[in-house]
Structure 1
Amino acid sequence: MSTQMPVPYAESRPLPPYRALLAVDAKDFTGLPASQHGPVSQLIPELVDQALERAKLHELRDAKRFPASTGDGVVFGFDPSWLPYVLWPFLGVLDDTLGAYNRQSVGPRIRLRASIHVGPLPDAGDQGDGNGTARNDTHRLLDSRPVKAILAAASEQVTHLVSIISQRVYEDAVLGAYTGLHPDRCVEVPATVEGKAFSQRAWLYVPSPSGNLVRAGVEPREEFAEQTAESVHEERDTMAGAETHYSGNTQRVGGGAAVMGNVGRDFKYTGPSTSYRGTNQHWGGGDNVSGDKRIGESGDPR
Structure 2
Amino acid sequence: MPVPMPHPYAESRPLPPYRALFAVDAKDFTGLPAAQHGPVSQLIPQLVEQALERSGLHQLRDAQRFPANTGDGVVFGFDPVHLPFVLWPFLGVLDGVLGSYNRQAVGPRIRLRASIHVGPLPDGGEPGDGNGTARNDMHRLLDSRPVKAILAAASEEVTHLAAIVSDRVYEDVVLGAYTGLHPDRCVEVAATVEGKNFAQRAWLYVPSPSGNLVRAGLQPREEIQDAGPTGPTEAQGKRPGKDGSGNSQHVGEGAAVMGDIGGDFTYTGPSTTYRGTNQHWGSGDNVAGDKRAGAGDHQ
**Smaller-chain TM-score range?**
0.7 to 0.9
Shift of 1:31: 0.2
The answer to whether the 8 A contact 1:245-1:253 is kept is no
Is it true that 1:258 corresponds to 2:280 in the alignment?
A: no
In structure 2, the partner of 1:56 is: 56
Write the distance in 2 (CA, Å) between the matches of 1:194 and 1:256. 18
Percent of pairs with identical residues: 76
In structure 2, the partner of 1:35 is: 35
* SS of residue matched to 1:155: coil
Shift of 1:245: 1.8
Question: Deviation digits for residues 250-270 of structure 1, max 9, x if unmatched?
Answer: x446877537xxxxxxxx953
Shift of 1:38: 0.3
Question: Deviation digits for residues 103-139 of structure 1, max 9, x if unmatched?
Answer: 0001000000000000000000110000000000000
Shift of 1:238: 4.2
Write the distance in 1 (CA, Å) between the matches of 2:105 and 2:92. 20
Is it true that 1:168 corresponds to 2:168 in the alignment?
A: yes
In structure 1, the partner of 2:292 is: 270
The one-letter amino acid paired with 1:243 is: Y
Greater RCO structure (CA 8 Å; 6+ sep)? 2
* SS of residue matched to 1:243: strand
RMSD of aligned Cα (Å): 2.3
Pairing of 1:133-282 with structure 2 (within 5 A): 133-214=133-214, 222=253, 224=254, 238-239=269-270, 242-247=273-278, 251-252=279-280, 257-258=287-288, 270=292
Could you state the TM-score of these two structures normalised by the residue count of structure 1? 0.77
User: Any stretches of 5+ residues in structure 1 without a counterpart?
Assistant: 226-235, 260-267, 272-302
Distance 1:237 1:101, change over 3 A: farther
Distance 1:59 1:216, change over 3 A: same
* SS of residue matched to 2:273: coil
The answer to whether the 8 A contact 2:252-2:280 is kept is no
Distance 1:90 1:126, change over 3 A: same
Distance 1:209 1:219, change over 3 A: farther
Write the distance in 2 (CA, Å) between the matches of 1:21 and 1:241. 36
In structure 1, the partner of 2:108 is: 108
Question: Deviation digits for residues 23-78 of structure 1, max 9, x if unmatched?
Answer: 00000000000000000000001000000000000110000000001110000000
Distance 1:188 1:5, change over 3 A: same
User: Any stretches of 5+ residues in structure 2 without a counterpart?
Assistant: 218-248, 256-266, 294-299
